[in-house]
Amino acid sequence: MLTGNMSAAWGARVADVDYVAAYPITPQSEIVETLSKWTSTGELNAKFVNFESEHSMITAAGAASLTGARVFTATSSQGLFYAFEALYTVAGWRAPILLVNVARGVGMPMVLQVEHGDVLAARDSGFLQLHAETCQETLDFILIGYRLAEDRRILLPVMVNMDGFTLSFAREPVEIPDKSQVEDFLPRYSYPRPLTGDEQVAYAPTMTEGVPYTFFKYQMYAASIEAKHVFKQIVRDFSRVFGRGYDVLESFMMDDAEYAVVCSNSYSSIIRAGVKALRRRGVKVGMARLRMIRPFPREELAKALEGVEAVAVFEQNLAPGRGGALYPEIVEALYHMPEKPKAVVPFIGGLGGANIGPEEVAYMVRVCEKAVKTGIVPQHPTLLLREDDWSKLRESLKVSGLPVEKMGVVHHV
Amino acid sequence: MAVKLSLANYRTDLHNDWCPGCGDFGILSAIQMALADLQIEPHRVAVFSGIGCSGKTPHYINTYGIHTLHGRALPYAIGAKLANPELTVLIAGGDGDGLGIGVGHFVSAGRRNVDITYVLYDNGVYGLTKGQASPTLQRGLKPKSLPKPNINDAVNPIAIAICSGYTFVARGYAYDTKHLKELIKKGIQHKGSAFIDVLQPCPTYNDIATKEWFGGEDRIDPATKKPIPRVYKMEDEGYDGEVRDPSEAAEKIQAAIMKSFEWGDRIPIGVFYRNPHIPSYEERISSRIPEYLENYPAKQVIMDANNHPTARIEDILNEFRIL
């Protein structure tokens, strides 16, 4: 039984990383604490450096990666935001580092629990993104992530997302792979023309002209698109060695589904339970869970949702002026289908670790049914709150003298 | 003032979740006592903090309180002070916050000499995230969270502050709240940037620089049978960091920096350096904008009775019109 944080640390350990760049932040700290311990006892033969900020941490991680060292780093929330400039920088260097983001809401107001406002803000940074539902997936995505990042056709950094608290501090059964198995799957890392001093190589020079700049930017884009196909090849190998396989998305009970919930990360376990409960009542509903967010698996998602009447999109982020960050990407994926779902309905919930339950899944499906019947799709995302949370919030609003209508479109079961 | 303000006026009823025995409590009381002594009304004080255990200080002081981002308390505080120079502005920040991630702001603030008081909670570790080495931890030391001794050299907060331009630089000790209170009062009364480095044991993670260590309980005077404390007050030994005439500034700076490297068996606390002859940033602004101190930004009306902005874009554009 391992926590998500321990699974991430084990992922780095079995990947035999050479360099760990660290800066503490809740809920990630346990990962780097563990790696710090292992590097000091010699259980992990790596250099461990604790930096003065995440900005330095990511920059050093990228530079170390160019020397030919396999690099691991981890952060959360404000830490990821402070590193933002450096994320784009190391992606532009084509440094194949692996970063575990332990998702946490972003201030202000400050919160420690899960939300995807942090990781999704980095969706266009050049990092490829794999999002885990379980502790096992977290560990496996680290191994797959290194293979993907270091593939000569790709050479882009990878971000593995694990949810704060719900995964980082939750224990689940996790299979830690054998060293020999990992060696079979993950070859030694070698960087083309590394910074070893043997030859003069210029990395990331300043472009004073738009045309060469465009060339390099397009190269990154092309490699990121290619990453989906490379991922599929890699996963075939992974499944041969470890007996577990992953596609870019998971289709659960989708075969004859009339309704589908599109989601990602650890709350998918709750949605899965909700889908099962509805199936027992004869409702034809399924779940399409995104494992890969960058590159966005557009074709696979469209295929998974073929024949579906309506789609509920469940997201744990809320962008002012927009809604959920992934909703437009999902709608775009479905737009070119010959027979599109009649409705794609946005829902937001689980912000800052707020709960949802199977009842919320049933509610989302009911809204979808209604949208199909009436032909009216809600323009704005519906906020999902549990009844007990809603009554607590209502009480707080009353104490503060604020009208309950402040909360707008809220659903509570 | 009709009613005399007491300590209770500066307290909040929020539950305090610092560890028992934390030096933060001493600093918190010293700040509250200083404000009560100076009779500054709570609504005329703003306390800014960054991230770390010290970041919660504004939660426990009944004044304006702003809990900002990691390492960024200074820019917020300076912004507030310049917008409202009548406000008493305090910064409560940790050593990791101010001298690690935020050290750029720390140095830049000194160059401006804005009239603020920065209280640095200096315990050598990142207490909130379980005891990693902070920038003030000496090389070679190994508090209990570190698997190996600290590989980096420590920064000297006093020397950095003096070299960056802070015009009041002092050090206090969290368990000597009376002395610390006096330092904070002097810092607030000083017209310019005041920096107070506060030695503060972290009973949970720093098992080296403990209360017992600062108090010298490992070295008992055979004559008196009492511990010989490591911390001593410079003023008791005749040290004087006050620059009385601008011509003696260089000499005082050198003496203060020399003094700041005293550590180990004897650790000086008190005022290392104070120079009242450097103009504050507010004075520098006033020399360019003569009405600044009378009509500072916080006093300016920006909305009319109907909540419409009073600034007219046409007037602004007219300034740029070429006739």
Tell whether B13 is covered by a domain: yes
8 Å CB contact of A24 and B132: yes
Q: What is the mean pLDDT of residues B22-35?
A: 97
Residue type, B172: G
Q: Are B175 and B280 in contact (CB under 8 A)?
A: no
The enclosing domain of B26 has a CATH number of: 3.40.50.970
Residue count (chain A): 413
Residues of B whose CB is below 8 A from A26: 128-129
8 Å CB contact of A78 and B103: no
| C-alpha to C-alpha distances, A165 to A29, A103, A181, A275, nearest whole angstrom | 12, 9, 30, 23
pLDDT of residue A408: 64
β-bridge partners, A314: A347
Q: Is B54 helix (H, G, I), strand (E, B) or coil?
A: helix
Tell whether B321 is covered by a domain: no
Is the model's pLDDT at A409 over the cut of 90? Answer: no
pTM of the model: 0.83
8 Å CB contact of B129 and A25: yes
Residues of B whose CB is below 8 A from A107: 69
Q: Which helix (H) or strand (E) holds B64?
A: strand B64-67
Half-sphere CA count of B287, side-chain side, radius 13 A: 5
8 Å CB contact of A24 and B130: yes
pLDDT of residue A406: 67
pLDDT digit string, tens, across residues A237-286: 999 999 999 999 999 999 999 999 999 999 999 999 999 999 999 999 99
Higher pLDDT among residues B88 and A200, named by residue: B88
How far apart, in whole angstroms, are the C-alpha atoms of residue B27 and residue B33? 10
Q: Are B208 and B143 in contact (CB under 8 A)?
A: yes
| CATH fold for domain A2-242 | Rossmann fold (3.40.50)
B70 and A CB contact within 8 Å: yes
User: Which percentage of chain A shows pLDDT scores above 70?
Assistant: 98
Domains in chain B, number: 1
pLDDT of residue A394: 87
In the structure encoding, which two tokens stand for residue B193, read together? 């940037």
Domain boundaries, position B266: 7-285
Burial class (CB in 10 A: 0-12, 13-18, 19+), B237: exposed
8 Å CB contact of A24 and B129: yes
Tell whether B105 is covered by a domain: yes
Q: What angle do CA A301, A307, A309 make, to 5 degrees?
A: 100
Residues 9-48 of A with CB under 8 A from B: 24-26, 29, 33, 36-37, 39-41
- In chain A, the residue whose alpha carbon lies closest to the alpha carbon of B136 is A52
Place A96 in a pLDDT band, splitting at 50, 70 and 90. very high
Q: What is the mean pLDDT of residues A39-58?
A: 96
Specify the range with the lowest mean pLDDT, choosing from A153-157, A334-338, A340-344, B32-36: A334-338
Residue B241 neighbours by CB under 8 Å, 6+ apart:
B169, B234, B252, B255, B256, B259, B270, B271, B272, B273, B274
B148 and A CB contact within 8 Å: yes
Place A207 in a pLDDT band, splitting at 50, 70 and 90. confident
Looking at the partner chain, which of A37, A50, A107 has a beta carbon nearest the beta carbon of B132? Answer: A50
- Domain A249-412 in CATH 3.40.50.920? The answer is yes
Q: Hunting for tokens 């399924």 — which residue is that? A: A286
- Work out the mean pLDDT of chain B and round it to a whole number: 96
A200 and B CB contact within 8 Å: no
Domain ranges of chain A: 2-242, 249-412
Query: For an interface test with A, which of B69, B95, B125, B152 has the most A Cβ atoms less than 10 Å from its Cβ?
Result: B69
